[in-house]
Amino acid sequence: MGPSASIPQMAEHDGSSRQCILHFPARPEYRFTNFIVSKGSRFALACARDICSGDPVTYHSLYLSGAGGLGKTHLWMFIGNHLAETGKQALYVHCRDLIDSLDKGEDRLPGNLDRPESEINFLLLDDIDRVAAHPGAQEAVYRIYNQTLERKGKMVFAGRTPADRLEATERFLTSRFKWGMTAEILPMDDEATAQLIHKLAEDVSLDVPDKIVAYLLKRIPRDFQSVKNAVTGINEESLRQKHKVTLPLIKTALGL
């Protein structure tokens, strides 16, 4: 789990679509070293490290799944950052943009993904769930997958739904996803959530006692944004009251 972000502002936009090519390193705060690992994310982290390491691996694609706020953005961002350090070109595309291009009948897809001459070493395709019930998008992703494989490129797909549970998605595409490695990120356990609370509090010079953390663990959701919102609210209330963090203070801050 790690910092939450929207798509970085330094993305370039091509005139025929809303496609964006990220200039990695896009957000330096996304690193392997500050990803908070839990039992539910350890395997996904290991796969992310492996696929961009440059070392031989037995898979050429990685399918990351999990609810929002569990760390998918952090994983593909530091994959892109790491690739930039090794001189490789990575392209980030959101499935929304891919589908928009198809629906508008544009003669090329974002980043020329469907062109054999594409020089992209690494494709990061986000929100892959959106291809469900869209036959044209499924065919496009299938074609892109095969062409990327032919030029010995690699791919990372991210979505909320595991590959084997995608609805309204043809088997020819889900089978491609399962050719590679699949990793589902599960909600953080108590230890990882407590670590995240302390890390976010430390970032704003806020001291949150362990007993307060234990109280929060029973009352806030386990996704990054919910934890961040809680810590932000507590910090603002602490500054307003000019008082250290206490149980009454966090009840006021969070309306508990």
How far apart are alpha carbons 110 and 17 in whole angstroms? 7
Of 256, 210, 213, 211, which is closest to residue 231 (Cα–Cα)?
213
- Fold classification of 190-254 (topology level): Helicase, Ruva Protein; domain 3 (1.10.8)
In the chain, pLDDT over 70 holds for what percent of residues? Answer: 84
Dmax over Cα atoms in the chain, in whole Å?
62
Q: Is the pTM of this model over 0.85?
A: no
Asked if 7 and 126 count as a contact pair (C-beta separation under 8 A), the reply is no
Is the model more confident about 149 or about 15? Answer: 149
Of 218, 230, 30, 233, which is closest to residue 124 (Cα–Cα)?
30
- Fold classification of 12-184 (topology level): Rossmann fold (3.40.50)
* Cβ-Cβ contacts under 8 Å for 172 (sequence gap 6 or more): 138, 142
Q: How far apart are the first and last CA of the chain?
A: 25
For tokens 């593909």, the residue is 76
Tell whether the model's pLDDT for residue 87 goes beyond 50: yes
pLDDT number for residue 253: 96
For tokens 């001189």, the residue is 87
Show me where the domains of the chain are located.
Answer: 12-184, 190-254
Asked if 38 and 2 count as a contact pair (C-beta separation under 8 A), the reply is no
Q: What is the mean pLDDT of the chain?
A: 83
- What confidence tens digit (pLDDT) does each residue in 23-73 have? 566 676 777 777 888 889 999 999 999 998 888 888 889 999 998 888 888
137 burial level (CB within 10 Å; 0-12, 13-18, 19+): buried
10 Å Cβ neighbour count for 151? 12
How far apart are alpha carbons 50 and 56 in whole angstroms? 8
- What confidence tens digit (pLDDT) does each residue in 96-124 have? 888 888 888 776 666 556 565 566 778 88
Beta bridge partners of 123: 91, 155
